[in-house]
Amino acid sequence: MLYPMFVDLEGRRCAVIGGGGIAEGRVRALIEHGAVVRLVSPQITSELARMVAEGAIVDHRERTYRPEDLEGCFLVIAATDREQVNRMVRQDAEARNVICNVVDAPSLCDFIVPSLVRRGELSLAVTTGGASPVVAKHIRRQLGTMYGPEWGALIALLREMRGELKERHPDMPGRREAVERLMRTDVVRLLAEGDEQGARDLARREMGLGVHA
């Protein structure tokens, strides 16, 4: 069974085995999710070296993989170019009840890492279940052009009004309908044009919160 990476990684120790470009992408994703990263590889990319030097990667073990590298870890990602090593990581992880992702080997994975488009607090995830990461990245690029920064601004605006919205509409159906009304307006266009106040006034009006003088 494969699971997307939608778990709370804040403060959890996660290991990445490998130091190439793919490992670099996985490390970046883990750090963005708040994980404490342990990187195991004798050779790493210049970007990974920068992250080590700056402290973004808190534990770099500059050598080949050993089973004890999984001790204390919540999850591990095997991203080496050696199938034998990746399979060893999988076996060791299973023995230690550490969930594991082996890059480009869906049958060896407990979870998958979706391709993400992030706009503030909004995350759009694309996954092919490990069948074709290239297709997932292609769709992600298309989504990136369709959903610009204004969508992140919309989520931030709704978070700002969340308390008032719950007071005005105590029941879930009422809140849902209020947001549905808002989404039928030009609020996203206003945000894209940089008219935050206009978008705020429109949102308050459509959701029945009243417009501040």
pLDDT of residue 1: 44
Q: What is the DSSP string of 163-189?
A: HHHHHH--SHHHHHHHHHHHHTTTHHH
Q: What are phi and psi of 118, to 5 degrees?
A: -115, 130
- pLDDT per residue of the chain (213 residues) written in tens, 0 to 9: 444 556 789 999 999 999 999 999 999 989 988 999 999 999 999 999 999 999 999 999 999 999 999 999 999 999 999 999 999 999 999 999 999 999 888 889 988 877 778 899 898 888 887 778 788 889 989 999 999 999 999 999 999 999 999 999 999 999 999 999 999 999 999 999 999 999 999 999 999 998 765
Structure tokens at 14: 């996660």
CATH H-level superfamily of 13-113: NAD(P)-binding Rossmann-like Domain (3.40.50.720)
3-class SS letters over 24-48: HHHHHHHHHCCCEEEEECCCCCHHH
Phi and psi based region of residue 72 (left: phi greater than 0; alpha: psi -120 to 50; beta: remaining): left
The pLDDT of residue 6 is 61
Q: pTM of the prediction? A: 0.70
